Structure 1
């Protein structure tokens, strides 16, 4: 069995388990770095995406304009508590109560 066939066999078997790559490698006494290398190499060679998703999600940040009327409080010890508005006023009140 060639290296390519060896690793393709393990990658196919891992995908069938539904478990983590790390667990599969530990169970079969495989080097995780080599597993990752061959997984990537074979995916590129076959020009296919792996059937197993990465588990990561794409996140997008929405720009929230800061209100020009936001409140800032300077505490006696010099700490500045800023950006207080109607949305976070209850949290700021709790923080001030805690610091009191």
Structure 2
């Protein structure tokens, strides 16, 4: 299939999907399409249209952000690691001397 043919094929699939009440995944199953290809082409061909973004799947991991030490603060006086949990809960002041406490807290959640 030429690149132009691919564009036409996927544009037709997107157009067909838009008139259904099916989710993208259900449409792909019904049409024997590969879902990640459908998503790729939908994003590529419909940029600027407002389609609801699917929520990212929960992975069990969280983002850890390292911040630079504050100017004028001695490394020994730094706040240490801060862990932010869903719901706005933060655990701050973690360092090598109390890191085991984090494990104990998280096991209780």
- The TM-score with structure 2 as length reference comes to 0.42
Higher relative contact order at CA 8 Å, sep ≥6: structure 1 or structure 2? 1
Larger Cα-atom Rg: 1
- The TM-score with structure 1 as length reference comes to 0.46
